[in-house]
Amino acid sequence: MTEQDRSDSVDVELDHGDVPAAQPVQDRLRKNRMRKILVFVTLPGIMLGTATISTAYSQGWLTPAPPKPACQPEVVPAPARNSFVVNVLNATGKEGMAAAVAKGLSQRKFSIGGISNAPETWYVTQPAVIHHGPASLDRALLVQQQIPGAELFEDEGRSGKSVDVVVGLGYTAMVPLPPRFDPLPSEITMNVYNTTFRTGLASTVAKELKARGFKIKDVSNDPLKTLQMGTALIRYGEEGDLAAKIVAQHLPGATLRKDQRAGTSVDVVIGNAYTALVPQAEVPAPAPRPKQEKPTVARPCE
């Protein structure tokens, strides 16, 4: 090999050796160009997105919707407890449950209608289910207050003001009885009967008692045909003990006799020794009652 050939061979080897050294430079150039492109494309997008989000917040587009106000039940005055009839049905299979609940409601001044067993197909696990119609919702709500855990059931086709209490397997007790106060004469209903030979005596005494504020229901001869030698006999049931005590204040020497009746009505049976009522001025004044809030019911939200 000549000197020239060796020179050419060296040059070729040097040229081939330069290729790997140049490659990293080209890669760095390409990466720099890509960074410039990404910055050019991405930065405006970020700026535009940030501006859009800021605008959305400023316009309230991204602000969470305020929570809806909680539904508030409508509170209305409760109906009078004796202004409608409550029927009580037993769905527990335990004898006497309907009668027990009916007695409790009667003690709380509700008017009781029918007492019976529920159909055998009715399976009630709740303490009670109170059936009512569209017009008797407030009355059902008032009864519901007496039985913890009782639920309402609306019979859309039902008319009238009565409600049905179906006593279920979950029943244990009613709420405690409210405090008892001596009734006023206007809160006492009585029958006035005559057992003497003086014609019209029951009517005369009934008029005098009505003038003193008592409610008179029946006026006649005693249907039990008793013979009273004293001034008067006052018959009453378990719930009418306070009423009988007040009535006795108007009849001198009257005898009290408890019977099996339901409710608070009393019978005044005039005897042969009767002469006149106790003078109004000598009758004790009614005891003052503490002020009580008017009862209300809360209609559920629809």
Q: What angle do CA 88, 92, 96 make, to 5 degrees?
A: 60
Helix (H, G, I), strand (E, B) or coil at 120: coil
What is the model's pTM? 0.62
Report the pLDDT value the prediction gives residue 295, as an integer from 0 to 100: 95
Burial label for 139, CB within 10 Å (0-12, 13-18, 19+), is buried
Helix (H, G, I), strand (E, B) or coil at 39: helix
Report the pLDDT value the prediction gives residue 30, as an integer from 0 to 100: 62
Fold agreement (79-178, 185-282): yes
CATH topology classification for 185-282: Alpha-Beta Plaits (3.30.70)
Encode burial over 52-73: b for 16+ CB neighbours within 10 A, e otherwise: eeeeeeeeeeeeeeeeeeeeee
Q: What residue segments make up the domains of the chain, in order of their start?
A: 27-62, 79-178, 185-282
Report the pLDDT value the prediction gives residue 39, as an integer from 0 to 100: 46
Report the pLDDT value the prediction gives residue 46, as an integer from 0 to 100: 45
Q: 251 with 229: CB under 8 angstroms?
A: no
Per-residue pLDDT of the chain (302 residues; tens, 9 = 90+): 444 444 444 344 434 444 444 455 566 656 555 555 544 444 444 444 455 555 555 555 556 667 777 888 999 999 999 999 999 999 999 999 999 999 999 989 899 999 999 999 999 999 999 999 999 999 999 999 999 999 999 999 999 999 999 999 999 999 999 888 999 999 999 999 999 999 999 999 999 999 999 999 999 999 999 888 899 999 999 989 999 999 999 999 999 999 999 888 999 999 999 999 999 999 999 888 888 889 999 999 87
The DSSP bridge pattern shows strands 128-132 and 215-221 to be: unpaired
Task: Given CATH 3.40.50.720, say whether it is the number of domain 79-178.
Answer: no
Q: 254 with 248: CB under 8 angstroms?
A: yes
